[in-house]
Amino acid sequence: MKTQNAIPKTLEESNTESLSDALWMKRRGYGKNIIDDLFNERLENDAQLQQLMQAINDTNTNNHELLSDWKQFQENNERFWNNVHFYLKQINDSTQRKHMAAVFEEAQATYNRSVASHEASTDMIQLRKDLLHDQKVMMKLLISLSMMRGYQEEELPDLQNLTRAINNYDTLLNQIAPYTSMPN
């Protein structure tokens, strides 16, 4: 027995596109994202999931703010070292250019050593950010899979209807056969 409550609203008949509409929209890069629709439906009805998603969003926002000074510092230093190399190339005297290049190579090496821990922390942050992103995608997929399984169990159409459609076509094909046979 089919229960209307088991059907996610996203999958109710009135919310689905026709196959031809869906294909047309897909070819043009449009169309509903059923994974997002299912996930958002669960999100609307699950306070714990809402809290988790809010925590993820808050953490991303807070971490962006925490890292903004470091990113600005990195960008300024990168611009500086790029400009140093540009200016060094402008020194015509090769001896002076080599001497200045050695001075700035040492200065850049000292800088690189001074920020090595910061760089390692940045790498760890990026690794965790990527891991959280992957976990969030997997969560969306698994939540939508759970909802789809319930839908598939509850709403699988009766095979007899398909068999009847086949039989209807077979009957018509048999009736039309005498009119379509080629004369010898």
The answer to whether residue 17 scores a pLDDT higher than 60 is no
* Residue 38 CB-density burial (10 A; 0-12 exposed, 13-18 middle, 19+ buried): buried
Dist. CA 61–CA 6, nearest whole Å? 36
DSSP letter assigned to residue 18: P
User: Is 3 within 8 Å of 153 (Cβ atoms)?
Assistant: no
User: Is 70 within 8 Å of 122 (Cβ atoms)?
Assistant: yes
Other Cβ atoms within 10 Å of 129 Cβ, number: 14
pLDDT band at 23 (very low <50, low <70, confident <90, very high): low
Q: For residue 46, what are the CA distances in angstroms to 56, 141, 157, 161?
A: 15, 16, 29, 37
Q: Please report how many Cα atoms fall inside a 13 Å half-sphere around the Cα of residue 65, on the Cβ side.
A: 5
User: Is 146 within 8 Å of 6 (Cβ atoms)?
Assistant: no
110-139 per-position pLDDT tens digit: 999 999 999 999 999 999 999 999 999 999
Mean pLDDT, range 21-38, rounded to an integer? 72
The domain spans of the chain are 14-45+117-154
66-106 per-position pLDDT tens digit: 999 999 999 999 999 999 999 999 999 999 999 999 999 99
State both tokens at 74.
Answer: 């990195």
